[in-house]
């Protein structure tokens, strides 16, 4: 589908910063962005609240305004404006959802690591607090174990994805994760001041 005259006019008005043009742009495309957000969240099994959707819409609009509307200035009219904006919005939403999912995985991993008893059950164990700490601890594991742990807990990959990517049997991923988590817990206890 080609660029319509209405969209070309709206785009030109926005880029020229005509009064009311941005409001018209938002009114015209906010429904599209909400649809992209909901569809992308559904495909990626991400639960979003109304506030999350509003935040993601804001992220899209901020990205469109960034660098003197560079994204809009790059549009060449080879497709409809809606198609172009759908691709842009989807990339932003995928990136933001991936960040949120990675953060959630790290938090779950930290909670799981904190709740697991260690051989020294009399000492209290500190949870893995941030990605930098996890990365530091991962460097102390054998390379393959660290990669499996990183892919599963930090990147949110499934056992199947890890198996395919690393060329290892799927049924070896779980035991390797268990051993690696135990080594990390032991290392945490040993490194405590």
9 and 94, same domain (yes or no): yes
pTM of the model: 0.57
Q: Look at residue 132 in the predicted model and tell me its pLDDT.
A: 65
* CA gap 15, 55 in Å, rounded: 24
92 and 26, same domain (yes or no): yes
Q: What is the pLDDT of residues 40-86, one digit of tens each?
A: 999 888 888 999 999 999 999 999 999 999 999 999 989 999 999 99
Structural domain tally of the chain? 2
Q: What stretches in the chain show pLDDT beneath 70?
A: 110-137, 187-193
138 and 175, same domain (yes or no): yes
63 and 135, same domain (yes or no): no
- Alpha-carbon distances of 109 from 44, 114, 153, 178, rounded to whole Å: 20, 8, 6, 12
91 and 11, same domain (yes or no): yes
Q: Report if residue 107 sits inside a domain.
A: no
Q: Report if residue 155 sits inside a domain.
A: yes
Q: Report if residue 125 sits inside a domain.
A: yes
* CA gap 145, 133 in Å, rounded: 17
* Domain carrying residue 89: 5-99
Instruction: For the chain, give the mean pLDDT.
Output: 82
CATH of the domain at 89: 1.10.1740
Q: Report if residue 109 sits inside a domain.
A: no
Nearest to 61 by CA among 83, 84, 29: 29
Q: Look at residue 179 in the predicted model and tell me its pLDDT.
A: 80
86 and 138, same domain (yes or no): no
CATH of the domain at 144: 1.10.10.10
120 and 50, same domain (yes or no): no
Nearest to 105 by CA among 177, 36, 54, 14: 177
14 and 72, same domain (yes or no): yes
* Structural tokens at position 5: 């005259």
Q: Report if residue 38 sits inside a domain.
A: yes
Q: Report if residue 17 sits inside a domain.
A: yes
């Amino acid at each position: 589908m080609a660029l319509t005259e209405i969209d070309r006019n709206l785009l030109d008005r926005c880029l020229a910063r005509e009064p009311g043009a941005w409001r018209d742009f938002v009114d015209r495309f906010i429904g599209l962005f909400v649809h992209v957000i909901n569809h992308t969240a559904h495909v990626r099994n991400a639960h979003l609240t109304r506030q999350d959707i509003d935040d993601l819409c804001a992220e899209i609009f901020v990205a469109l305004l960034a660098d003197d509307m560079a994204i809009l200035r790059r549009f060449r009219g080879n497709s409809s404006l809606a198609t172009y904006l759908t691709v842009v919005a989807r990339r932003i939403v995928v990136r933001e959802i991936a960040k949120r999912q990675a953060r959630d995985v790290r938090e779950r991993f930290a909670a799981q690591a904190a709740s697991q008893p260690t051989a020294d059950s009399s000492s209290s164990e500190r949870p893995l607090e941030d990605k930098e700490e996890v990365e530091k601890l991962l460097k102390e594991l054998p390379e393959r174990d660290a990669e499996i742990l990183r892919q599963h807990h930090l990147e949110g990959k499934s056992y199947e994805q890890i198996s395919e990517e690393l060329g290892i049997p799927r049924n070896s991923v779980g035991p390797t994760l268990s051993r690696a988590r135990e080594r990390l817990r032991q290392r945490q206890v040993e490194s405590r001041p």
